[in-house]
Every structure is written in structure tokens, then in C-alpha cells.
A and B are shown apart, each in its own frame.
Chain A
Amino acid sequence: MSQPENQLRPNVPVSPEPLAPFPQEKPDTLRKIAFDKFMKNKLAVIGLVVLIIIITAAICAPLLTQYNPNNQELLKKLQPPGSEHWLGVDTLGRDMYTRLLYGARVSLLVGFSSVTVSIIIGTIVGAIAGYYGGRIDNFLMRTVDVFLSFPSLFLLITLVTIFDPSIDKLILAFALFGWTTTARLVRGEFLSLRSREFVLAAKTMGVKSSRIIFSHILPNAMGPIIVTATLNVGIIILAESALSYLGLGIQPPTPSWGNMLQDAQSLTIMYTAPWYPIFPGLMILITVLAFNFVGDGLRDAFDPKMKS
């Protein structure tokens, strides 16, 4: 009975060495899966590349131009695009290309900072509402409803007329009206996550609420938060440009893509320099489009229901 096994099947040679271990590949982390999915989305990758170019150009603005954004050469005013001034010269004789580069700094700064502030406020409010529920939730969500039913541009303009607009006040004002969507979203995520086993486990082990909220639940809700943050940057850049165009946002001489269009409504420009409004508008369009593509790509990447 104690025959070696191979004698039953004499044709099979016995390997003298032990079997090579099964290749122990590490399973892909969620982050890697999301990353791979994102990289397969062509539009999202294009958007990301465009954003990286724009951000780099904004940071390196002084290296990319020989002009000063506020230097006026009145003799050259409204000179059309050419080899000397690539995108032409504005009504005060300033180089448009240079102002676009420096304007990118302002628009991106306002976009990123307001979104950061509004995401922080929104996440805290949403987390508290979703985690504790009950009356707190009810009160906070009704507050969100009030903010959401306001046409926020009206309140923004009102705020701006009361406090003269400066970049930091504009950022705060945008944040004040941008946090509500995040709050709703985070609340929803928390509502569904708070009854999961890992949260119950943490609770039974006596982990403090603040720790459960920030180190147990929040990391699981990060995906959707990053998606809204990305999309919101685009929305805020659009809003900032509209306010600045109206003359109620970033004040000249600081260039912003919106306030560069202020002069464009004069009939002389419309008759004689139709190239004038094209580039600032295109920059806004391209940047916002890129943010939307990246945001959409991230949404698909983080969504486990979507097949890669």
C-alpha cells in the first residue's frame, strides 16, 4: 500500500525538485485599477496633458515671454497677431500673449483655492450630517437647500459690491457658494458607508467618532470628492471669468481671462480687431473643457460598476 504514487502512472516522470511556487502576483490595488481605467480614457488623458501644459505655462510665465504683462506701448495698440506680438496687442498697448500667460495664474489660483476651501467646508458639513444623521442632518441639509436655491451669482455680485473685490475675497466668496454640492455628496456617501461592517467594527472597538469619520469613512468617500473637486474648478473658472468680464471680479491691471475681454465690447474693436476677443475666450473654453474631461474620466475610473 505504501507504494510511491507515481507507480500508478508509470509514464509520468517524477520531478526530483519541489514544484515551482505559484507565481504570487500581488492583486491590483483599487488605486491601480482606477489609474489603468483612467489612462485608457483618451479624452481624459488629453485633458490631463492640456492641464499640465497650462499649469506649467502659468507657473513659468516669466520664462515664456519677453514682455511685462503691464508694460504699455501705446503706439502699438491693437496691433494684430504677428511675429513680434504672437497674439496681438491690447487697447492699452500690452502684449496679449503675455497677459494670457499671467491671466492663467490668476484664473487657476482662484479656481484651485476656492475649490480647496469649499471642499473642506463641504466635506466637514457633509460628514457631520451623514454620520450623525437625525436633527443635525436635517438642519444642515435645509441650510444647503437654502444656498442651492439661491441664484448664487446674485449674492456673489452683492458681496463683491459690499467688499471691493480682491483675489482673496473673491476666493472666499466662491467657496461660500461652492461647498453645498460637496456637502450633499459627502453626506450621501457617509449615509451609505456608516452602516458598513468596517465602521461597526471600529465603533465596537471604541474608536472615537472623529477618528472613524476621518480615517475610516473619509478615505472610502474620496473618489467622488475628487471628481466634484475637478469639475468644480472648471465651474469656478467660468464664474470668475464672467464676474471679471462684468468688471466685478479681478480688477485691472491684474490680468485675468475674464477682464481681458472687458474692452472687447466696444464697436471700434468689433469693426477693426475681430481677433481681439478670440484668444482669452478660447483659453477659458479649453481649460474648462480639460477640467471636465479629466473629471469625467476620474468618475468612470472610480466607478466600480464601469467596466474597463
Chain B
Amino acid sequence: MLSYIIRRSLMAIPLLFGITIISFGIIHLAPGDPTALLMDPNIKPEDKVAFMEKYGLNDPMHIQYLKWVGNMLQGDFGQSLIRTGTDVSYLIVERLPNTLFLMLVSTLLAVLISIPFGIISARKPYTLTDYSVTFTSFIGLATPNFWLGLVLIMFLSVQLGWFPTGGIATLNEPFSLWDRIHHLVLPAFVLATADMAGLTRYTRTSMLDVLKQDYIRTARAKGFKERRVVYKHGLRNGLIPVITIFGLMLPSFFAGTVIVEKIFNWPGIGLLFVDAAFQRDYPVIMAVTVIAAVLTVIGNLIADILYAVFDPRIEY
């Protein structure tokens, strides 16, 4: 087991290498030199040279890349171009917990809603119930989540006034749990819908597969109650493939946070990213991209390891 974990972790290294190379490559595709973006075009040539020297912009590409990666490994993502003097790492440390919290709650919500529906669907396949669940997940898959967010804000927040229109807490008020939850409901729900459809369908397929197995028939033949057969005997095995799906869904989940945070004005790294994109704050853009990619790789790693833990049939 331990050797599997080590081997699987080592496999993540070339991935991380590729991710940093692509990110670095893309930012260097930018036409013109970085000074053009940052400085007054009327700057004196010698000042420009001094600037290029100071930030190592005259170094060859591979040296710049190594420096960049080396700094990142030490948690140094450079400084924001727009909020001058602010470390990018500070901005990220300030925002990342909000994003992770939102993602965690949405994941729980998605699991609590879609797994039961997937099971119901699989228990009564090809019935009206099954078709309704499938049809609803088709609709969910095709709904743009920014639009769902807009419509929910419009009806539930603005027209009916049930929820706040955005933000993570009421400004200038002491912390209150209720207030936090109140702000959390809509963004967490919208973010969860992004993956609910897929999760329901995977649970259904996987449970259908498991419920056809011989040991399920044995359990039924023993006279166990249907509930026990499905939830105790079936579910344990049926959920194993769903774990991997989680890992695969992480990238779309991160993409979802960008949109949901923008709509609900949720102060996480997604909002930080969109704002930075508009201001062309490249160090922030790069940092968030790399962090999201690294978290995705780690998420996949954890999903694979959990898969091996829960399914002893996997050989490592």
C-alpha cells in the first residue's frame, strides 16, 4: 500500500512539471515586453534597462523559469502589479480559505442530493421515477450555472428578499453563524448543481451494475430486508467508482468557483482571478492558475489513493 502511494505520488511530478511549463509558456506568449504593460512609455531607456535587470527579465528563458518555480516552491508568487507592494501570496492566503469552504459545502450538498437520487433511479430502473431523475439531470447538465445564479438572485434575493444578493457576510456586523449560512445557501447550491447531474448519473450506473451482482441476489435470498441489501451490501461497492469521478470533476469544480464567486461576489480566489484578469494583473493570474492546477493534481492523487483503500481488489 505504502509503495503504491509513493509510486502514485511520484507520477504527479511530471504532471506538475507540465503544468508549470504550460503556464509559463502562455504568459510568455504575451506580445511585447513586460515593461510595456507596466510602465510609462516615455520612460528613459536606462531606467528600462535597470528595471529589466532588477526583475531578471534579461535572463535566458530557462533561468527565468527555474527562478519562477523556485520562488513558488518557497511560497513567493511575486507582487501584484495593480495593488503595488502587495504580495500575491498574501492575497491568496486571504482568499483561498473562502473558496475551499464554499467548495466543501457544495460538495457535501452535491453528494447529499445526487447520491440518493442516483440510488432511487437504480432501484427502479426504466420507470417513471428513473426517467424523471435522468431527465432532470439532463436539464442540470445543460443549464449554464451563471444563468441559474442570476435567476436565483433575481427571484429569491431581489424580488422575494429571502437571501442576500451576494458577499460572504453582512458588512460591518459582528460574526454570526446564521448570517454566514444565509449568505452561503445560494452560491453553494449553484456551485453544487454543476456536478450534481454527473454525480447522479454515475451513481445510477454504478449501483445498477452492483445490484445485478450475485452477492446481492444471495443477500436477498437470505431474506434480508431490501433496505439493508441496497444500502449496506450494495452501496458500499456502488460508491467506489464514484470516488474517482470526484477527482475527475475537480477541474470543472474550480471553473465553477470562478463563475459562482463572480456572480455572488464571494471573496475567494475565483473572484480574485476574474478581477485580476480584467486588470491584467499577470502575477495574480499565474499564481491562481498554478494553485488551482496543483490542487487538482492533489485532489486526483487523493481520489486514486482512496480508491485503492476502499477497493482491495485493486492491485498495487
Asked if B277 contacts A158 (CB within 8 A), the reply is yes
Name B's interface SS. helix
B277 near A157: Cβ-Cβ < 8 Å: yes
Count residues of chain A with CB under 8 A from any CB of chain B. 47
Which residues of chain A from 50 to 103 have a CB within 8 Å of any chain B CB?
Answer: none
Return chain B residues, CB-CB under 8 Å to A162.
26-27, 29-31
Given contacts A154-B289, A242-B146, A281-B144, contact A161 B280 (CB under 8 A): yes
Q: Is B292 in contact with A154, judged by CB distance below 8 angstroms?
A: yes
Binds A, one of B85-93, B106-114, B149-157: B149-157
* Chain A: minimal CB distance from B82 (Å): 13
Give complex CA distance A170, B262 in Å. 21
Asked if B142 contacts A264 (CB within 8 A), the reply is no
A95 to B150 Cα, complex, angstroms: 21
Does B138 lie at the interface of the complex (its beta carbon under 8 Å from any beta carbon of A)?
A: yes
- B117 contacts A by Cβ under 8 Å: no
Q: Which residue of B lies closest to A154 (CB)?
A: B289
Contact between chains at A146 and B19 (CB < 8 Å):
yes
* Nearest opposing residue in chain A for B250, CB measure: A151
Query: Does A229 lie at the interface of the complex (its beta carbon under 8 Å from any beta carbon of B)?
Result: no
Residues of B with C-beta under 8 A to A245: 144, 146-147, 259
- B277 interface neighbour in A151, A161, A234, A289, Cβ under 8 Å: A161
A151 with B154: in contact, given A242-B259, A281-B144, A285-B139 (CB under 8 Å)?
no
> Contact flags (1/0) for B156-180 with A, using CB distance below 8 Å?
0011000001000000000000000
Contact count A vs B, C-beta below 8 Å: 149
A191 to B316 CA separation, bound complex (whole angstroms): 24
What 1/0 flags go to A199-210 for Cβ under 8 Å of B? Answer: 000000000000
- Among A142-200, those with CB < 8 Å from B are 142-143, 145-155, 157-163
B273: A residues at CB distance < 8 A: 154, 157
Chain B contact residues, CB within 8 Å of chain A: 14-15, 18-19, 22-23, 26-27, 29-31, 138-139, 141-147, 150-151, 153-155, 158-159, 165, 250-252, 254-255, 258-259, 262-263, 273-274, 277-278, 280, 285-286, 288-289, 292-293, 296-297, 300
The contact sample of 30 A-B pairs, CB cut-off 8 A, is A142-B14, A146-B14, A146-B22, A149-B293, A151-B255, A153-B258, A155-B26, A157-B258, A157-B274, A158-B27, A158-B277, A158-B285, A159-B26, A161-B280, A161-B285, A163-B29, A238-B144, A241-B147, A245-B144, A248-B274, A248-B278, A264-B154, A265-B150, A271-B159, A285-B143, A285-B144, A285-B147, A288-B142, A288-B144, A292-B138
